[in-house]
């Protein structure tokens, strides 16, 4: 993994003699990232070991938290300074004296490639070994694709590189990635003991690169063919996974040195790919969102017990998410029957895990021991944080918050999971608006990573900090949002869903739209999502908003016609699609197409043809334009907050980095030109965001707003 490093330690790799062993200690805090100083230090250590006749072995060991956590993020995007990592690894491997790597903590990416270039490896129990480059659209580029299969075997090595997974010490031992696992927590001592033992037994220099990649080349070729086909299917359109397979395959025929050169070429292709840029953006953005201003200015309040009001879809999911984080939960429902249903909703999740063998019945019982239910609000008197997830109705929310105001202890955080309602109004209804915040979870709340933290006008900073602390405990990705209709995600969603509905009435079928959106990289299209979530939810929202809708705005009634028939999607067996006998994947429904035709006639629309590209241009332009408005109004702090919201809550393909990053990639001038073109048909809907216009005029991109301090 790329790792952040600070300061330029005068000596990033220290060497000293321990008898006949030259100890090279990587000392580049905080995580021993592979900066140019570290690379240079490692190279010099290898040279020094060879040059000194009194040295019989070289030991590589990391100081501090781990061995080497990976590349140095400060060097990303800058011209590479010599020596390159492949050069360093090759020099280590070429050493004429045994080289031992003693690994504790993370040995990831380039860090593991260094370890694999050593001749012997010993790991402490806390070691984490992995080649996670694929997660950033990259591949191992310093011999990893050649050395890992030689050490571990073809299939395990590919599994490691294609999944980006970390192995622990024991797993690494079992697959041959390390030679032994040592007791204790002193990597230096373990490494020295191993080095002395190797010297005592006159263990030879052992160069991984001199081994063969596979004993039986023909069967290896067949295996690789299977893996390539499987990878192509699973990673749909991703570039670097196939390059990993290609690099390994080339190693079957090429001499080692040439296979390394080939790997480097493929690695550079990955570096140049826009997917790499998208994935790296996503990687940094998801770390950046956790740093809201309030997390710096305020300390979180205590967070030892949580109350949840409502045990429906969301309340139960939230309760599970909180229980999974190890906290106790008290659920309040309006009557015994609803409470029983709420409890059953919670238990169902754990029963599923037990059934699939992923949890023992004892573990389930232990988790549920932390779960309590009540029909009385008094049960929430001790809670540090209460999350309300009752019906989406302002009167009901006010009633619930009045009760919370009555029973909650002073300083308790009072949160609402509302999707659209005005949280300032909810807060204004009680005596302690400073304690009220929005915690907008996504369904299923125990699975979906996104948590929109919605910050109303009167909330205190420490309540916001507490919300971010909760996200951390729940292992969610928090995004700070301002109060408006739909916050960041649902507000933008409403716009591009509208654009999709317009296209549907203008001539595209929902099936075509879904297909185009999937081809872009989404797991599902908008009409499949609607069928999955239940069409009734959107219908209720549309009815609620009908009185305030701009009478001049175009309104497509197709969804209403479908809902009026009781076709709410999967749960009713039909929606936009047909779900014969409870099938989870729908098939196109000719009756839906007939409804759409009828609506086109009613609206006097002459249907026209839409290609996949036309569909995407409109869909994404609507998304990006509203994203720009959301940033301009400070509903989202930066464009990257919009990106993370869509990556984690709405299925936007990660390799494209998010909608705002995607817009930067294709060029904001192009997006603006599209919007102006579409505005000729519907100027009310397609109003260019002033922020988009401003950025295009100034020749800037969205990313320039992500780093205001630069
Ligand atoms: P739901 O209808 O499944 O559950 C609501 C629950 O609240 C019911 O079990 C009901 O008995 C209970 N309830 C109603 N009044 C109550 C009261 N006065 N005291 C205690 N319990 C009461 O609804 P769902 O889908 O769980 O939604 C809840 C909230 O979460 C809504 O504000 C919704 O907008 C929001 N939300 C929903 C999402 C979804 O995908 N369903 C996603 C994100 C937010």
Number of H helices, E strands in the chain: 29, 19
At 2, the pLDDT band (50, 70, 90 cuts) reads very low
Atom of ligand 1 nearest to the CA of 416: 32
List, for residues 675-705, the tens digit of each pLDDT value.
999 999 999 999 999 999 999 999 999 999 9
Q: Are 3 and 28 in contact (CB under 8 A)?
A: no
Q: Strands, E, within 164-222: which ranges? A: 166-168, 180-182
Question: 40 φ, ψ to 5°?
Answer: -60, -45
292 Cα–ligand 1 center, Å = 28
At 8, the pLDDT band (50, 70, 90 cuts) reads very low
| Residues 474 and 594 placed together within one structural domain of the fold | no
List, for residues 147-194, the tens digit of each pLDDT value.
999 999 999 999 999 999 999 999 999 999 999 999 999 999 999 999
Q: Is residue 6 part of a domain?
A: no
User: Omega of the bond prior to 83 within 30 degrees of 0, cis?
Assistant: yes
CATH of the domain at 356: 3.40.50.720
The CB of 631 under 6 Å from ligand 1? The reply is no
Known active-site residue 133 = yes
Buried b (16+ CB within 10 A) or exposed e, 286-309: bebbbebebbeebebbebebbbbb
Q: Is residue 284 part of a domain?
A: no
User: Omega of the bond prior to 267 within 30 degrees of 0, cis?
Assistant: no
Residue at token pair 């010599």: 82
The CB of 312 under 6 Å from ligand 1? The reply is yes
- 3-class secondary structure, 358: coil
313 Cα–ligand 1 center, Å = 7
Residue 5: pLDDT above 60?
no
316 Cα–ligand 1 center, Å = 9
| Residues 499 and 437 placed together within one structural domain of the fold | no
Residue 476: partners with Cβ closer than 8 Å, 6 or more residues away: 321, 449, 450, 451
Q: Rounded distance, CA 35 to CA 549, Å?
A: 57
How many domains in the chain? 3
Mind giving me the DSSP string for 506-561? HT--HHHHHHHHHHHT-SS-HHHHHHHH-HHHHHHHHHHHGGGS-TTS----HHHH
Query: What is the pTM assigned to this prediction?
Result: 0.90
The CB of 338 under 6 Å from ligand 1? The reply is yes
The CB of 530 under 6 Å from ligand 1? The reply is no
The CB of 452 under 6 Å from ligand 1? The reply is no
Q: Which one from 37, 63, 93, 133 is the annotated catalytic residue?
A: 133
341 Cα–ligand 1 center, Å = 13
Give Cα 394 to chain centroid, integer Å: 33
Residue 297 host element (H or E): helix 293-297
For the beta carbon of residue 685, count every other beta carbon within 10 angstroms: 18
Q: Is residue 683 part of a domain?
A: yes
Buried b (16+ CB within 10 A) or exposed e, 447-481: ebbbbbbbbbeebbbbbbbbbbbbbebbebbbbbb
Q: Return the residue whose CA atom lies nearest to atom 14 of ligand 1.
A: 390
Q: Among residues 462, 481, 500, which one ends one of the domains?
A: 481
Residue 1: pLDDT above 90?
no
Q: Which mutation among 314, 402, 403 tests ligand 1's pocket best, with the greatest number of atoms within 8 A of CB?
A: 314
Q: Are 273 and 240 in contact (CB under 8 A)?
A: yes
Atom of ligand 1 nearest to the CA of 317: 26
| Residues 561 and 445 placed together within one structural domain of the fold | no
The CB of 443 under 6 Å from ligand 1? The reply is yes
| Residues 44 and 116 placed together within one structural domain of the fold | yes
Q: Where are the alpha helices (DSSP H) in 455-522?
A: 461-473, 489-506, 510-520
Residue 698 vs residues 506, 669, 670, 693, 701: alpha-carbon distances, Å: 35, 11, 14, 9, 9
Buried b (16+ CB within 10 A) or exposed e, 262-284: bbbebbeebbebbbbbbbbbbbb
Q: Which mutation among 307, 310, 376 tests ligand 1's pocket best, with the greatest number of atoms within 8 A of CB?
A: 310
The CB of 390 under 6 Å from ligand 1? The reply is yes
Q: Rounded distance, CA 248 to CA 511, Å?
A: 39
390 Cα–ligand 1 center, Å = 3
Q: Return the residue whose CA atom lies nearest to atom 25 of ligand 1.
A: 313
| Residues 312 and 236 placed together within one structural domain of the fold | no
The CB of 538 under 6 Å from ligand 1? The reply is no
Buried b (16+ CB within 10 A) or exposed e, 61-100: bbbeebbbbbbbbbbeeeeeeebebbebbbbbbebebbbb
Domain boundaries, position 172: 13-270
132 Cα–ligand 1 center, Å = 39
Residue 235, pLDDT score: 87
| Residues 508 and 454 placed together within one structural domain of the fold | no
Question: 534 φ, ψ to 5°?
Answer: 105, 115
Q: Is residue 145 part of a domain?
A: yes
| Residues 542 and 644 placed together within one structural domain of the fold | yes
CATH of the domain at 95: 3.90.226.10
Q: Are 142 and 89 in contact (CB under 8 A)?
A: yes
Q: Which mutation among 307, 308, 312, 348 tests ligand 1's pocket best, with the greatest number of atoms within 8 A of CB?
A: 312
Q: Is residue 619 part of a domain?
A: yes
Q: Are 140 and 113 in contact (CB under 8 A)?
A: yes
Q: Rounded distance, CA 585 to CA 532, Å?
A: 10
The CB of 20 under 6 Å from ligand 1? The reply is no
List, for residues 460-519, the tens digit of each pLDDT value.
999 999 999 999 999 999 999 999 999 999 999 999 999 999 999 999 999 999 999 999
Residue 328: pLDDT above 90?
yes
Atom of ligand 1 nearest to the CA of 397: 18
Q: Strands, E, within 150-253: which ranges? A: 166-168, 180-182
Q: Rounded distance, CA 332 to CA 329, Å?
A: 10
Q: Which one from 37, 63, 93, 113 is the annotated catalytic residue?
A: 113
Q: Strands, E, within 264-310: which ranges? A: 306-309
Q: Which residue has the higher pLDDT, 543 or 6?
A: 543
343 Cα–ligand 1 center, Å = 14
Q: Which tokens is 162 given?
A: 């294609």
Q: Rounded distance, CA 383 to CA 650, Å?
A: 31
Longest dimension (CA), the chain: 92
Residue 236, pLDDT score: 82
At 77, the pLDDT band (50, 70, 90 cuts) reads confident
Q: What share of the chain is helix, strand, coil (3-state, %, to 5)?
A: 55, 15, 35
Q: Where are the alpha helices (DSSP H) in 52-100?
A: 85-94
Atom of ligand 1 nearest to the CA of 443: 40
The CB of 392 under 6 Å from ligand 1? The reply is yes
| Residues 493 and 474 placed together within one structural domain of the fold | no
Q: Which mutation among 390, 537, 541 tests ligand 1's pocket best, with the greatest number of atoms within 8 A of CB?
A: 390
Residue 74: pLDDT above 80?
no
Q: Is residue 520 part of a domain?
A: yes
The CB of 536 under 6 Å from ligand 1? The reply is no
Residue 528: pLDDT above 80?
yes
Atom of ligand 1 nearest to the CA of 342: 9
| Residues 454 and 593 placed together within one structural domain of the fold | no
Of 53-62, 406-415, 581-590, the one with minimum mean pLDDT is: 581-590
| Residues 503 and 475 placed together within one structural domain of the fold | no
**Mean pLDDT, the chain, whole residue set:** 95
467 Cα–ligand 1 center, Å = 20
Residue 87: pLDDT above 80?
yes
Residue 430 vs residues 68, 321, 408, 436: alpha-carbon distances, Å: 52, 27, 12, 9
The CB of 316 under 6 Å from ligand 1? The reply is no
576 Cα–ligand 1 center, Å = 25
Q: Among residues 481, 516, 542, which one ends one of the domains?
A: 481
Q: Is residue 291 part of a domain?
A: no
Q: Are 451 and 479 in contact (CB under 8 A)?
A: yes
The CB of 512 under 6 Å from ligand 1? The reply is no
The CB of 419 under 6 Å from ligand 1? The reply is yes
Residue 685 vs residues 501, 678, 681: alpha-carbon distances, Å: 12, 9, 9
Q: Residue 331's beta-bridge partner residues?
A: 308, 373
Residue 244: partners with Cβ closer than 8 Å, 6 or more residues away: 134, 139, 140, 145, 158, 161, 162
User: Omega of the bond prior to 605 within 30 degrees of 0, cis?
Assistant: no
What is the CB-side half-sphere exposure of residue 50 using CA atoms within 13 A?
12
| Residues 465 and 495 placed together within one structural domain of the fold | no
Q: Which tokens is 572 given?
A: 């009713």
635 Cα–ligand 1 center, Å = 24
Q: Rounded distance, CA 139 to CA 39, Å?
A: 19
Phi-psi region of 77 (alpha: psi -120 to 50; beta: other; left: phi over 0): left
524 Cα–ligand 1 center, Å = 25
CATH of the domain at 653: 1.10.1040.50
Q: Is residue 640 part of a domain?
A: yes
The CB of 315 under 6 Å from ligand 1? The reply is yes
Known active-site residue 54 = no
Q: Which mutation among 321, 389, 420, 545 tests ligand 1's pocket best, with the greatest number of atoms within 8 A of CB?
A: 389
At 582, the pLDDT band (50, 70, 90 cuts) reads confident
Q: Are 454 and 491 in contact (CB under 8 A)?
A: no
The CB of 489 under 6 Å from ligand 1? The reply is no
At 4, the pLDDT band (50, 70, 90 cuts) reads very low
Q: Rounded distance, CA 177 to CA 228, Å?
A: 23
Atom of ligand 1 nearest to the CA of 420: 34
| Residues 453 and 529 placed together within one structural domain of the fold | no
Residue 709, pLDDT score: 58
Residue 73, pLDDT score: 73
At 3, the pLDDT band (50, 70, 90 cuts) reads very low
Q: Among residues 438, 465, 481, which one ends one of the domains?
A: 481
């Amino acid at each position: 993994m790329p790792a952040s490093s600070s300061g330029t330690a005068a000596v990033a790799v220290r060497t000293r003699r321990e008898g006949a062993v030259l100890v090279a200690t990587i000392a580049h805090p905080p995580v021993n990232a592979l900066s140019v100083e570290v690379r240079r230090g490692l190279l010099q250590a290898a040279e020094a070991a060879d040059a000194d006749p009194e040295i019989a072995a070289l030991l590589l060991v990391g100081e501090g938290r781990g061995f080497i956590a990976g590349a140095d993020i400060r060097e990303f995007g800058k011209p590479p300074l010599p020596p390159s990592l492949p050069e360093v690894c090759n020099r280590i491997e070429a050493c004429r004296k045994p080289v031992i790597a003693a690994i504790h903590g993370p040995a990831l990416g380039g860090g593991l490639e260094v370890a694999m270039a050593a001749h012997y490896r010993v790991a402490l129990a806390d070691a984490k070994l992995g080649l996670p480059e694929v997660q950033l659209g990259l591949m191992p580029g310093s011999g990893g694709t050649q050395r890992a299969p030689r050490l571990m075997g073809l299939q395990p090595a590919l599994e490691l590189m294609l999944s980006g997974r970390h192995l622990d010490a024991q797993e690494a031992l079992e697959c041959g990635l390390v030679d032994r696992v040592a007791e204790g927590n002193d990597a230096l001592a373990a490494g020295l003991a191993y080095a002395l033992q190797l010297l005592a037994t006159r263990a030879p220099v052992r160069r991984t690169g001199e081994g063969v990649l596979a004993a039986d080349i023909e069967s290896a070729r067949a295996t690789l063919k299977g893996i390539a086909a499987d990878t192509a299917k699973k990673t749909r359109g991703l570039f670097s996974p196939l390059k990993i397979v290609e690099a390994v395959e080339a190693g079957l025929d090429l001499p080692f040195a040439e296979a390394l050169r080939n790997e480097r070429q493929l690695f550079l292709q990955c570096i140049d790919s826009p997917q790499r840029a998208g994935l790296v953006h996503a990687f940094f953005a998801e770390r950046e969102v956790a740093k809201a201003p309030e997390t710096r200015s305020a300390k979180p309040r205590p967070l030892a017990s949580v109350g949840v009001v409502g045990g429906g879809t969301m309340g139960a999911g939230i309760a599970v998410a909180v229980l999974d984080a190890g906290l106790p939960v008290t659920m309040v429902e309006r009557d015994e029957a609803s409470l029983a249903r709420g409890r059953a909703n919670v238990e169902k999740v754990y029963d599923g895990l037990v059934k699939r063998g992923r949890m023992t019945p004892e573990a389930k019982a232990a988790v549920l021991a932390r779960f309590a239910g009540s029909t009385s609000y008094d049960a929430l008197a001790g809670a540090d944080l209460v999350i309300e997830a009752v019906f989406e109705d302002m009167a009901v929310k006010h009633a619930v918050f009045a009760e919370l105001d009555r029973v909650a202890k002073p300083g308790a955080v009072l949160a609402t999971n509302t999707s659209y309602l005005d949280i300032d109004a909810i807060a204004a209804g009680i005596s302690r608006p400073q304690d009220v915040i929005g915690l907008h979870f996504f369904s299923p709340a125990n699975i979906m990573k996104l948590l929109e933290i919605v910050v109303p006008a009167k909330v205190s900073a420490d309540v916001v900090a507490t919300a971010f602390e909760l996200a951390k405990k729940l292992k969610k990705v928090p995004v700070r949002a301002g109060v408006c209709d739909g916050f960041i995600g649902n507000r933008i969603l409403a716009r591009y869903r509208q654009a999709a509905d317009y296209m549907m009435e203008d001539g595209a079928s929902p099936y075509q739209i879904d297909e185009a959106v999937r081809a872009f990289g989404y797991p599902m299209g908008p009409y499949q999502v609607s069928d999955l979530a239940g069409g009734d939810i959107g219908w209720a929202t549309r009815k609620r908003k009908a009185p305030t809708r701009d009478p001049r705005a175009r309104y497509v009634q197709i969804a209403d016609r479908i809902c009026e028939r009781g076709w709410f999607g999967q749960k009713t067996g039909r929606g936009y699609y047909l779900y014969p006998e409870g099938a989870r994947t729908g098939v196109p429904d000719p009756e839906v197409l007939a409804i759409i035709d009828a609506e086109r006639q009613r609206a006097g629309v002459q249907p026209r043809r839409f290609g996949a590209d036309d569909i995407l241009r409109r869909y994404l332009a609507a998304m990006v334009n509203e994203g720009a408005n959301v940033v301009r109004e400070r509903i989202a702090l930066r464009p990257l907050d919009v990106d993370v919201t869509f990556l984690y809550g709405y299925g936007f393909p990660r390799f494209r980095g998010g909608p705002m990053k995607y817009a930067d990639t294709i060029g904001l001038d192009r997006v603006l030109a599209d919007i102006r073109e579409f505005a000729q048909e519907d100027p009310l809907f397609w109003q260019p965001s002033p922020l988009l216009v401003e950025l295009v005029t100034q020749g800037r991109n969205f990313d320039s707003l992500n780093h205001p301090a630069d």
